[in-house]
Amino acid sequence: MKKSIFEYMEEYGHEQLVFCRDEKAGLKAIIAIHNTTLGPATGGTRVWTYESEEDALVDALRLSQGMTYKYAAAGINLGGGKTTVIIKSPEQKGEQLFRALGRFIDNLNGRYITGEDVGVTVGDLEYINMETDLVVGLPAENGGSGGPSPYTAMGVIGGMKACCKEIYGNESLKGKRVAVQGVGNVGHDVVKYLVEDGADVVVADVDENRVKRAVEEFKVSAVGVDEIYSVDCDIFSPCALGATINDETIPKLKCKIVAGSANNQLKEARHGEVLGQKGILYAPDFIINAGGTIADTDQFEGGFCPERARKKVARVYDNVANVIEISKREGIPTYKAANRLAEERIRKIGEISKLRVKVPKKLARASE
């Protein structure tokens, strides 16, 4: 290991790491609890054939830290958490593995809530749910949102409108030319909403069937995957992979706004600055793509309510507008303003006097 466990925890600012092992189930998992100032640490479980334990550790640390920022900036009362599970082959996945993990999560007494991430299906979540209620993203019939993608797409549209208000003086998407990269779960719905709002949409996807589906369903045009960056447009919307905003692609961009669902859009943080220098407004990824997360966690308000979830997702517009405001006021790029928004909320809420102190167990027993 390049650093000790505690050095890693210090670097990322973690409260707690839980190492879980169940020999018979073949479970090797790391639950990373980053920050619980705002509420229980929440974030999905990622199951992956990690090359080393250190890779799994760093992934858990990095992703859980990201969740803290995402929830904080979205105004949700949850902290950041994440689980990584180390497997040798996908055959290891199954009821035994996920139920074993569920028992560990349940043992944390509400400090950590899990959900889906890479390598985990809704069916796997149902196995975890057999052992613990501390699961989000379950199917609608099990009290969940039924999938985050439509809500993520709604949030992206709200974020685009906030950017249009800043650049064009009004939030209308009518007549705006939008280049959507990736028409998968989220991208497809983004295109649907854009077309409903009267935008002129161009799409690209490595999967030809997905391109065909979008073109036929919404009568939009398509270009090749390398051409999408240089489309003359108002908004470039990355809805495929991360790191697509980089030294090679930025010179090609002919847009005024970058606003999409993909995680980690900037290859390096400095690319946020480069976009700004080019006069392109960047809607920070973890602010604009929070819609699904907002909807998924609505179940904690006494059961999932689609209407309430939609109302909450509509706040993505305000969050993006807020970030733009901070960026202008402080003279910093929007990606830095997004971090500031999250950090300020955690600091301010953390400062409130802790009047709801839990009675220590020993005292509680003494008064029985």
- Residue among 90, 95, 94, 117 at smallest CA distance from 31: 117
d(CA 119, CA 82): 13
Find the binding residues for ligand NAD in span 187-226 (CB under 6 A). 187, 204-207, 210, 225
Choose among 280, 216, 205: nearest CA to 245.
280
Among the candidate windows 215-223, 238-246, 316-324, 352-360, which touches ligand NAD by CB under 6 A?
238-246
Q: Report if residue 243 touches ligand NAD, rule: CB under 6 A.
A: no
Q: Tell me the residue nearest to ligand NAD as measured from the CB.
A: 184
User: Is 162 in contact with 283 (CB distance < 8 Å)?
Assistant: yes
From the list 82, 161, 192, 312, the catalytic residue is 82
Q: For residue 19, how many other CB atoms are within 10 A of its CB?
A: 12
- Alpha-carbon span 316 to 70, nearest angstrom: 11
DSSP state of 43: -
Stretch that binds ligand NAD, among 30-38, 95-103, 121-129, 235-243 (CB under 6 A): 235-243
Q: Does 186 bind ligand NAD (CB under 6 A)?
A: yes
Give the C-alpha separation, 113 to 86, whole Å: 19
82 is catalytic: yes
The single residue among 113, 163, 239, 259 that binds ligand NAD, judged by CB under 6 A, is 239
Question: At closest approach, how far in Å is the CB of 20 from ligand NAD?
Answer: 25
Using the rule CB under 6 A, is 249 a contact of ligand NAD? no
**Nearest approach, Cβ of 190 to ligand NAD (angstroms)?**
9
Tell whether residue 262 is a contact of ligand NAD (CB under 6 A): yes
Asked if residue 84 binds ligand NAD (CB under 6 A), the reply is no
Strands (E), 219-286: 221-222, 235-238, 257-258, 281-282
Beta strands 112-113 and 45-48 are unpaired
- Which of these segments, 37-45, 145-153, 192-200, 336-344, binds ligand NAD (CB under 6 A)? 145-153
x/- letters, 274..293, toward ligand NAD (CB under 6 A): ---------------x--x-
Nearest approach, Cβ of residue 121 and ligand NAD (Å):
13
CB count within 10 Å of CB 169 equals 8
Using CA atoms, how far apart are residues 260 and 159, in angstroms rounded to an integer? 9
Which residues form the catalytic set?
A: 82
Binding site for ligand NAD (CB under 6 A): 148-149, 152, 181-187, 204-207, 210, 225, 239-242, 261-263, 289, 292
